[in-house]
Amino acid sequence: MSDDTTERAKAHFFAGNAHFEAGRLDAARADYEAAQALVPGRPSVLANLGVTLCRLGQWDAAIERLDAALLADPTHRDAWAALGLSREALNQWAGAAHALRQAIGLGALLPSLYLALSHCELRQERWREALQALDDALEIDPREPEVWSQRGHLLRESGQLKEAARSYEQALQHGAEPALHRHYLASVQDLRDPPPPPPVYAGALFDQYADDFQDHLLAQLRYAAPETLLKPLLAEGRRIGLVLDLGCGTGLCGRLIAPIADAVEGVDVSHAMVERARASGAYRGVVHGDLLGFLHASQVPADLIVAADVFIYVGPLDAVFAAAAARLASGGRFAFSVEQADPGRDLQLRPSLRYAHSRERIERLAAAHGFAVQAIEAGPIRHEQGRPVMGWYAWLRRAA
């Protein structure tokens, strides 16, 4: 190899470094690729190119370069870190965890890597190792709110509620988003009068869930709420005028009720869910927003308001019942499902971050807002870990 070739490769390599540091990742990739063409197999070039491709989200290409770089130089900690993050992005949990441990062992003591390692261990159902990764991160820096937050989630999901509460309190103390973390904290405190969720909670939850939402509910959780809720109405064989679908999600209720409705309109707090519902073709219109704003936005009377498995993310329902009563036509119906609260409890916020209601509370709300109870029946809403999650299915009618 000539000196000129080596110098040209160095020039591209250093230019790539400058672009990378300045955040010009496409330019960095171009220079690293030019250097690689001049000096094939050079570990430093392969590693930097792989790290850049990782940052660009080109996971497969990144893994190819990083594997080659680490074969030649297994001490390159940035390459191990990028390899771990790339494999995590491709759901290669075991390989990702191995690479992240290598990076950490070589001194890459970054909270983001410990968080990624914990995530990979958790996806392999290695709860102890997932928790240990978070604890190791906190030994290095006990002021990291995201680590405390993830620790709280892990402990909450494993039933260690007191320790989960301590983790959420630490997350709040060190600057975690306050509204969400007060909600998480309330979910592990078994409050007698739990507060409503913050407005950002459900939207953020379902935006990230939208792509897999329908398949996950129907295939894995055996989700039955829309069919159970609408079956009696469909069996009547009568047309319904305007139907309002609260928390419409991807449109499961809309598709069932549309054939017998003059029009179906929906609302959801998730942008991604709204797009999926619109694409279903079942709705005259779908609005992004909260359900109270949706109910108050028009004076056009509705003949049916339906809310399948929605109130588990709403909590207190007094305002919802008032708005539904105001929006329904005389004799209009209100059909919804809720999770069953424990005996002796009217309203609960559970560690699942879902609210549960008692039958008695539903009956009191109905009476207070001018609804006649047609039926309230117990039944499974979904299955979790092979067990049914029981709910109340309610069919109410607004007084004439």
Distance CA 152, CA 189 (A): 13
DSSP 282-310: --SEEEES-HHHHHHS--PPEEEEEESS-
Q: Mean pLDDT throughout 87-104? A: 98
Residue 218: the pLDDT is 42
Q: Is the pLDDT of residue 69 over 90?
A: yes
DSSP 216-268: IIIIIS---HHHHHHHHHHHH---EEEEEEET-TTTHHHHHHGGGEEEEEEEE
The string of pLDDT tens digits covering residues 204-243 is 666 555 454 444 444 444 567 899 999 999 999 899 999 9
Do 170 and 226 reside in the same domain of the chain?
A: no
Kindly state the DSSP code that residue 349 receives in the 8-state scheme: E
* 194 assigned to some structural domain: no
The string of pLDDT tens digits covering residues 293-316 is 999 999 999 999 999 999 999 999
Q: How many CB atoms lie within 10 A of CB 156?
A: 22
* 342 assigned to some structural domain: yes
Do 33 and 143 reside in the same domain of the chain?
A: yes
- Provide the token pair at 98: 């191995």
Distance CA 46, CA 29 (A): 11
- Count of structural domains within the chain: 2
Q: Give the strand pairing for 387-398 and 240-246.
A: unpaired
Do 130 and 224 reside in the same domain of the chain?
A: no
The string of pLDDT tens digits covering residues 255-293 is 999 999 999 999 999 888 899 999 999 999 999 999 999
* 192 assigned to some structural domain: no
Do 156 and 265 reside in the same domain of the chain?
A: no
Question: In this structure, are residues 31 and 19 in contact, taking their beta carbons and an 8 Å threshold?
Answer: yes
Domain that holds residue 251: 206-398
Do 183 and 289 reside in the same domain of the chain?
A: no
Distance CA 73, CA 82 (A): 14
Residue 217: the pLDDT is 45
Q: Give the strand pairing for 355-357 and 347-349.
A: antiparallel
Distance CA 271, CA 285 (A): 14
- Provide the token pair at 10: 């160095």
Do 16 and 139 reside in the same domain of the chain?
A: yes
Distance CA 91, CA 96 (A): 8
Do 182 and 238 reside in the same domain of the chain?
A: no
Name the percent of the chain lying above pLDDT 90. 86
Residue 219: the pLDDT is 41
Confidence at 201, pLDDT banded by 50, 70, 90: confident
How far, in Å, are 84, 101, 170 from residue 147 at the CA level?
A: 18, 17, 10
State which of 159, 187, 215 marks the end of a domain: 187
Do 178 and 266 reside in the same domain of the chain?
A: no
Least confident among 251-260, 351-360, 375-384? 375-384
Distance CA 41, CA 38 (A): 10
Residue 206: the pLDDT is 61
Residue 116 burial by Cβ neighbours in a 10 Å radius (0-12, 13-18, 19+) = buried
The contacts of residue 34 (CB under 8 Å, 6+ apart) are 9, 12
Distance CA 81, CA 46 (A): 14
Residue 256: the pLDDT is 95
* 157 assigned to some structural domain: yes
Q: Which residues of 292-324 are buried (b: 16+ CB within 10 A; e: fewer)?
A: bebbeeeeeebbbbbbbbbbbbbbbbeebbbbb
Q: Give the strand pairing for 371-384 and 387-398.
A: antiparallel
Q: Mean pLDDT throughout 169-191? A: 96
Q: Is the pLDDT of residue 17 over 90?
A: yes
* 173 assigned to some structural domain: yes
The string of pLDDT tens digits covering residues 153-168 is 999 999 999 999 999 9
Question: In this structure, are residues 253 and 306 in contact, taking their beta carbons and an 8 Å threshold?
Answer: yes
Do 294 and 387 reside in the same domain of the chain?
A: yes
Q: Mean pLDDT throughout 191-201? A: 88
Mean pLDDT of the chain: 93
CATH of the domain at 121: 1.25.40.10
The sign of the dihedral angle between the CA atoms of 143, 149, 152, 158 is: negative
Do 304 and 182 reside in the same domain of the chain?
A: no
State which of 135, 157, 187 marks the end of a domain: 187
Residue 135: the pLDDT is 98
The string of pLDDT tens digits covering residues 31-60 is 999 999 999 999 999 999 999 999 999 999
Residue 399: the pLDDT is 87
The string of pLDDT tens digits covering residues 361-381 is 999 999 999 999 999 999 988
Distance CA 44, CA 37 (A): 13
CATH of the domain at 237: 3.40.50.150
Residue 46: the pLDDT is 97
Distance CA 274, CA 249 (A): 7
State which of 117, 152, 187 marks the end of a domain: 187
Do 88 and 212 reside in the same domain of the chain?
A: no
Do 148 and 212 reside in the same domain of the chain?
A: no
Confidence at 203, pLDDT banded by 50, 70, 90: low
Residue 383: the pLDDT is 77
Residue tagged 């869930």 (tokens): 209
Residue 384: the pLDDT is 80
* 301 assigned to some structural domain: yes
Residue 214: the pLDDT is 45
* 200 assigned to some structural domain: no
Residue 2: the pLDDT is 66
Helix (H, G, I), strand (E, B) or coil at 214: helix
* 231 assigned to some structural domain: yes
The string of pLDDT tens digits covering residues 103-154 is 999 999 999 999 999 999 999 999 999 999 999 999 999 999 999 999 999 9
